[in-house]
Amino acid sequence: MKAALTEKFLARFGRAPAVIARAPGRIEFIGNHTDYNGGTVLGASIDRGVWVAAAARGDGQWRFATEASAGLVEVSSAASPARHSGPGSWVNYPLGVLAAFPPFGLRLPGGFDCLVLSDLPSGAGLSSSAALELASALAFLALSGQDAPRASLVQLCRHAENNFVGVPCGILDQGVSGFGRRDHLVYIDCRGPSFATVPLPAAARFWVFNTHTKHALVDGLYAARHRECLAAAAQLGVAALAAVTPAALAAARASLPPVEFRRAQHVVDEIARVEATVAALRAGDLAAVGRLLTASHRSSQHQFENSTPELDFLVDQLVAAPHVHGARLTGGGFGGAVMALTTPDFGAAQAAGVAAAYAANFGRPPEVLPAQTGDGAALQ
């Protein structure tokens, strides 16, 4: 990919890039919507990601291009970055990163040309947006001769998505892309936040089934769930739902509106599932991990209501299949993808059977992605 990116940059801009950065997509392993509620979460950085190449230019213009489009988006570095709409709206992610530089004590780079390539499917719940933010931030720092601690870089990219793009996400996506490590999961305690890694048993395998159904976060149901969780926390007298014990939630059930109780129950139970998953991973008990993953999905389906019929169908098919430990939606939900944790004996033929059953029911097959863990964001 690095050689291909260099060649495409040369063809587009007439010179070689000065810097190249890559950041991986991520699988939300378990911990659905726990991050912005102050809880814990586990994620895996994968071997697919977003690449950003850049080279300085002398006229103060920021020029953005992507392999997916023939055009350029051009912005003056002398003006405050403003959000774009329409076909060029993808530049809001790198522009949001640039807008976050001054609040984080960093100098804005001068003019540059920037080209983005990806082997990560967008809209699949694998967080192509966070990968683009991390890769862009590393490239822009290198262009301007600056560096930042990894935790600050992750926070900067989350700030970009929250305050410029407008998605009220937690730290999961950027944290996993930033701190990922091959053959490990990233464990995030979002109260700090603090980051650690947990070894993944060698027999674990991931399969992702992308439904290609709508994954609308900015103006949709993700923001609604965020508001419902904040409202539940306020009525329970805490700053975030992570501070609520199961006993305290049960005692307050009669005083909470039913919808807000269900949202809170999902978050409180999901945080407990994260901790149980860490213990099962350390014990090498992948069967127990699988049961926790499936329980997480059922909670998303019935308590948090961020699943869809397509995602539920895939989970049902997968958990009934041989060599599958468990399955759940991955990412914000409301479309996107399902992740299955399997044994090495689950292969392409078994995945094709699941895809065929899905196609018979919904009219088209899902995209099937065997995924491996990979390292986190880095300059190349």
Please report which confidence band the pLDDT of residue 203 belongs to, taking 50, 70 and 90 as the band edges: very high
pLDDT of residue 177 exceeding 70, the answer is: yes
- What are the tens digits of pLDDT across the range 302-318? 999 999 999 999 999 99
pLDDT of residue 219: 54
List the structure tokens of 36.
Answer: 């912005």
Distance CA 239, CA 229 (A): 10
Please report which confidence band the pLDDT of residue 67 belongs to, taking 50, 70 and 90 as the band edges: confident
pLDDT of residue 223 exceeding 50, the answer is: yes
Distance CA 325, CA 125 (A): 20
pLDDT of residue 123: 63
Give 18's DSSP letter: S
Please report which confidence band the pLDDT of residue 134 belongs to, taking 50, 70 and 90 as the band edges: very high
Alpha carbon of residue 201 to chain centroid:
22
Q: How much is the average pLDDT of 211-217?
A: 70
Peptide bond into 258 cis (omega under 30): no
Distance CA 285, CA 290 (A): 9
CB 361 within 8 A of CB 311: no
pLDDT of residue 217 exceeding 70, the answer is: no
Q: How much is the average pLDDT of 248-272?
A: 97
What share of the chain has pLDDT > 90, as a percent? 85
- What are the tens digits of pLDDT across the range 23-47? 999 999 999 999 999 999 999 999 9
Q: In terms of DSSP H, where are the helices of the chain?
A: 2-13, 92-100, 128-143, 150-160, 172-179, 221-236, 246-251, 258-282, 286-299, 309-319, 348-362
Please report which confidence band the pLDDT of residue 124 belongs to, taking 50, 70 and 90 as the band edges: low
Q: Quick one: 203-371 is in which CATH superfamily? A: GHMP kinase, C-terminal domain (3.30.70.890)
pLDDT of residue 131 exceeding 70, the answer is: yes
Alpha carbon of residue 133 to chain centroid:
11
Distance CA 97, CA 94 (A): 5
Pairing of strands 112-118, 61-66: parallel
pLDDT of residue 243: 97
Please report which confidence band the pLDDT of residue 218 belongs to, taking 50, 70 and 90 as the band edges: very low
Positions marked catalytic: 173
CB 9 within 8 A of CB 33: no
Distance CA 160, CA 305 (A): 27
What is the CATH topology of the domain spanning 2-198?
Answer: Ribosomal Protein S5; domain 2 (3.30.230)
- What are the tens digits of pLDDT across the range 297-356? 999 999 999 999 999 999 999 999 999 999 999 988 888 899 999 999 999 999 999 999
pLDDT of residue 278: 98
- What are the tens digits of pLDDT across the range 366-379? 999 999 999 999 99
Report the candidate in 340, 304, 313, 334 with the shortest Cα–Cα distance to residue 225: 304
CB 23 within 8 A of CB 132: yes
**CATH 3.30.70.890 domain residues, the chain:** 203-371
pLDDT of residue 38: 95
Distance CA 98, CA 113 (A): 14
**CATH 3.30.230.10 domain residues, the chain:** 2-198
CB 269 within 8 A of CB 30: no
Helices then strands, counting H and E runs in the chain, come out as 11, 12
Report the candidate in 296, 292, 294 with the shortest Cα–Cα distance to residue 281: 292
* Concatenated DSSP letters of 115-127: EEEE-S-TTSSS-
Distance CA 173, CA 49 (A): 13
Distance CA 77, CA 198 (A): 41
pLDDT of residue 213: 84
Give 200's DSSP letter: P
